[in-house]
Amino acid sequence: MPPSSHSSRDSAAGAGWTCQEPGTYTSLLPSRVRDLSWTRPSTLWRARNDVLARWFGDPTDDERARWVGEQLARGAGPDFAIERDDPDSFSFMVLGDTGEGDGSQYAVVPGFHRIGEGTRFAIIASDVIYPTGSVNEYATKFFRPYQGYHAPIYAVPGNHDWYDGLGGFMRVFCGVPPLSPDGRPKAFSAAWWRRLFWKEPDVADEGRLAAAEALRAAPEQRAVQPGPYWVMDAGPLRIVGIDTGIIGGIDADQGAWLRRVSQGPKPKILITGKPLYVDDESHPCPIAGGGTVDDIVRDPACNYVAAIGGDIHNYQRYPVRVGDRVIEYIVSGGGGAFMHATHTIPRVAVGGVTEEDFRCYPLRGDCLSFYSRLYGRRLRLRRFFELTEDDAAAVIARRLGIPPKRGTRAAVTWRARIVASLLGVPPRPHRRSRLRLPVRRIYQRFLSPMSDSNCPPLFKSFLRLDVTPERLRIRCFAATGCLEHELDPPIEDEITIHLNQ
């Protein structure tokens, strides 16, 4: 059966609001699974390396240099190339920020397997394992959910994978042992204070890891990549994966490598742990020593046609015109973690992209309705906070000056306006709202994780990319957690890129 054309842009049912029956993903969960709660102090403590890296300096570049050095000593080629033999026409999957290990991750699995039938490989863009990338959590958060995907899976690490020193990631994807301890830092230096509180990598449970690896041990499933960043020639396309560490930049050696492997007219896609365009902002990704990743992506001599990043847990697309061509900048982080808000994105006007060109999933109105219901439950103020999907779409349309994606006749009440302000919907252009909770940067970093939900509709997503010598088609599929959408995953966005542009 071909995938359906219905989606959240067509109806509330397409968004999952009328879900009558949860999907079969509930039967895929381990018999004993503990929902990952970002409000639990133990979770926050385990993920403390992010704060320590920002306060006392980020050791990621030095650690990456050690990993890369050891890989080169083991015989990896200087280009860190993944050797493949794909035909001129083929398909592959991309999904990001997968590894919570609870219902929100497993809800993506049935649709991913269905749409992924016949694809040659998959790529995880950022945060394979939450909260700290531990090697001992790959069993339930990687091997078990994707045991039914009969093709290789490659990955680029996200910040959470680095909280374990990248040891788990390198063991599973590169097949190498942990690094030996490095020297002690100078007493009372910033590195000394960081080391004092730093979470050290977990020691692998070899028996548990061997049992987990057996779940994806078929010859067609095996994949070994040369390092945390890599390049892959797949048919008429070159795919370049970079490692943006904890904070979101790349080291000078990786920058030199990226410049080298990006040269030439072959069409290219960048896979990155941090998106270059997100939430109506440009984040070009600095390279140590000068320049940015986006400089390379925009260089006509490199011929990038798309840049896909994870880290932010929703879907966004910005078609940016660069000279006489268009580069598709995509956020694909809806593969299984809690949902970052889209209703806080203002009317889009970045990089020459207009609101008419911009796409996101979930739709802002659906996202606002989701958060209003969640706050209503959490604060026990349902009658005040909760907005229907029509009410939310109407207030979004009024505040941003855009037509609703689904037709609605709902009136915008004072209550809806107040709730929208409290939950961070941007005010009308040229106006300021004094009544607003810190929903954008502060909320996204500290409060969005507390808004995790494992009940439909879940508004998760993943990508399928179909390649021919002439064109590349990218489709974003939804995973709502509803049975009907497992059987017939909605298409939330579709774009065709002509590779000879």
pTM metric for this prediction: 0.93
Q: What is the pLDDT of residue 199?
A: 79
| Confidence label for 426 from pLDDT (cuts 50, 70 and 90) | confident
Q: What is the pLDDT of residue 57?
A: 78
Q: What is the pLDDT of residue 351?
A: 94
Position 433 pLDDT exceeds 50: no
What residue ranges in 68-163 does DSSP mark as E strands?
81-82, 90-95, 121-125, 153-156
Write down the mean pLDDT value for the chain. 89
| Confidence label for 45 from pLDDT (cuts 50, 70 and 90) | low
* Token reading at 403: 């037509």
Q: What is the pLDDT of residue 442?
A: 52
d(CA 445, CA 457): 22
pLDDT digits (tens, 9 = 90+) for 324-374: 999 999 999 999 998 999 999 999 999 999 999 999 999 999 999 999 998
Q: Give, for 252, the enclosing helix (H) or strand (E).
A: helix 252-261
Cis peptide before 319 (omega within 30 of 0): no
Residue 133 CA to its chain's centroid (Å): 15
Position 430 pLDDT exceeds 60: no
pLDDT digits (tens, 9 = 90+) for 444-497: 555 555 566 678 899 999 999 999 999 999 999 999 999 999 999 999 999 999
What residue ranges in 349-489 does DSSP mark as E strands?
359-361, 460-467, 471-479
| Short-list 91, 176, 170, 108, CA closest to 459 | 108
**194-203, 270-279, 358-367: segment of lowest average pLDDT:** 194-203
Q: Give, for 306, the enclosing helix (H) or strand (E).
A: strand 304-309
Residue pair 136/103 in contact (Cβ under 8 Å)? The answer is: no
